[in-house]
Structure 1
Amino acid sequence: MNKKRTFYSYTSKEKNSIYGKNMILLIMVLCYDSSLILNHEEATSSAMSRLLFILLFLIEVKLPIEYNYVMFFIDLGECMVLNSWRITKYNPLHRNNEGSYLYDDWTSFHEVGKKVSLADYLKIEEAYIQAIVAFMNEMDISTVYIHALEFSSNEIQNQHASDLTSNLWIGKGISIEEVKELAKLTLREAVWCKLGIKNLFFVHFGYDYYMYIGAHSNCYGARESVDSLGLYVEKFESPY
């Protein structure tokens, strides 16, 4: 079920917005690096060398159409949590010994009207969103941070979500309500993202309507809530 991630195209306005926000973050990182080695003459030259390299890289590739390249320099860090689960609409009893799902089920928002009705799709989509909310509520988390972010301009336009996405960037803290909107866009393949708080909680989205949640606690109540939503919770390490 693994697919190759595609590179998305951006409008000039989106590119400029992404450049500006990323450059602010990069400068912050460089300043932080310098502060760690105060009173060393190497600080300025090292910081300036890194900044020059980053600028040349961005100019050479003429984007960032793929945020992960820039994340190499500004990644907020992986969430090293104690527990990780895979949350899906797929019954684990219908998998073979290799873990592959045996039934020909729908796997994408773009199959609405083909393999799944809009009503049935929206029911499952809402269940996934409420699953995230259940974990956040049990962990008493009201804000998470964007750790990775990619956009699909065409899909964002189709979902009329430009107002939301134009105000998102890596490192931004977002509320539960914003998480719900961002999760919806991700499930509809207009956005791809990783959300979390380092060493406490994360939400990752995979292909084929797979979702991964990690938490520092066992979250028994949240897992029971997800079961009641008709989804399946399996102990599973996030591949992201």
Structure 2
Amino acid sequence: MPIHFNWRITKYDPGYRSYNGNYLREEWTSISDICHVFEGSLTPITIHDYLQVENSYVDAVVRVMDCLKIETLEVRGLEKWEEALEISQFNEIYSQKMRELYSHTSEGISLNKVEISLLCRLILREHIWCRLHANDSMFVHFGHDYYMFIGSEKKCADTLQKIRESGLFVEDFHSPINVD
């Protein structure tokens, strides 16, 4: 089946968007924002805060895979900025498996759910970029600043509700990522 459902899944409340879709609040957008204070908060973003949101994104990808009974996703359009994973901050949240995955990830490789979870973290932490695809059943695209786009052959209504309950916002939205 072709992809019929497309969503933008983010931590950003659509209630804070302008009429033309621009997000109006200043919020953290990167792992490098840990220890900084942002609009609406009196305390800095902690590693715990960051990981809680990151976990929600990773769980969203795996939940859609589960809904569609997909076991692997293929890496497409791979971009690595470093030969080896270089970590300057927060070394404690990078597992050995994550470091190894960075080294062996290549264009066209199919990754299982555990590997996809680690790869999504590397993408969200801005170490690597790619699109993830399962033929015409599903895709995952990441934009800048914690924007994630998922396409699916099925509606997955219960899954989307669980994603919303995790604190993320799900909007009908086509991915702006060029797949040519």
* TM-score relative to the length of structure 2: 0.85
**1:87-116 Cα distance to aligned partner (Å, 9 max, x none):** 000000111101011111111111111132
Asked whether the equivalents of residues 139 and 150 of structure 2 are also in contact (C-alpha less than 8 Å), the reply is: yes
Q: CA deviation at 1:156?
A: 2.1
Aligned to 2:34: 112
- Greater helix fraction, Structure 1 or Structure 2: 1
Which amino acid in the other structure matches residue 149 of structure 1? L
Q: CA deviation at 1:192?
A: 0.6
Which amino acid in the other structure matches residue 155 of structure 2? N
Q: Which residue among 84, 88, 94 is the counterpart of 2:10?
A: 88
Aligned to 2:61: 132
- Could you tell me how far apart the structure 2 residues matched to 1:138 and 1:80 are? 15
Asked whether the equivalents of residues 205 and 211 of structure 1 are also in contact (C-alpha less than 8 Å), the reply is: yes
Q: Give runs of ≥4 in structure 1 deviating > 3 Å.
A: 159-162
- Could you tell me how far apart the structure 1 residues matched to 2:84 and 2:13 are? 29
Aligned positions, number: 162
Which amino acid in the other structure matches residue 195 of structure 1? L
Q: CA deviation at 1:152?
A: 2.5
- Could you tell me how far apart the structure 1 residues matched to 2:176 and 2:170 are? 16
Q: Which residue among 131, 141, 150 is the counterpart of 1:194?
A: 131
- Could you tell me how far apart the structure 2 residues matched to 1:155 and 1:100 are? 36
Aligned to 2:121: 184
- Could you tell me how far apart the structure 2 residues matched to 1:86 and 1:234 are? 5
SS at match of 1:153: coil
Task: Specify every segment of 5 or more residues in structure 1 that has no aligned partner in the other structure, as ranges.
Answer: 1-78
- Greater strand fraction, Structure 1 or Structure 2: 2
- Could you tell me how far apart the structure 1 residues matched to 2:3 and 2:140 are? 11
- Could you tell me how far apart the structure 1 residues matched to 2:169 and 2:19 are? 18
- Could you tell me how far apart the structure 2 residues matched to 1:202 and 1:83 are? 10
Percent identical among aligned pairs is 35
Bigger RCO (CA 8 Å, 6+ sep): 2
Please provide the CA RMSD for this pair: 1.7
- Could you tell me how far apart the structure 1 residues matched to 2:4 and 2:24 are? 30
* TM-score relative to the length of structure 1: 0.64
Aligned to 1:141: 70
Greater radius of gyration (CA): 1
Task: Specify every segment of 5 or more residues in structure 2 that has no aligned partner in the other structure, as ranges.
Answer: 38-44, 88-93
Q: CA deviation at 1:199?
A: 1.1
Asked whether the equivalents of residues 156 and 191 of structure 1 are also in contact (C-alpha less than 8 Å), the reply is: no
Aligned to 1:229: 166
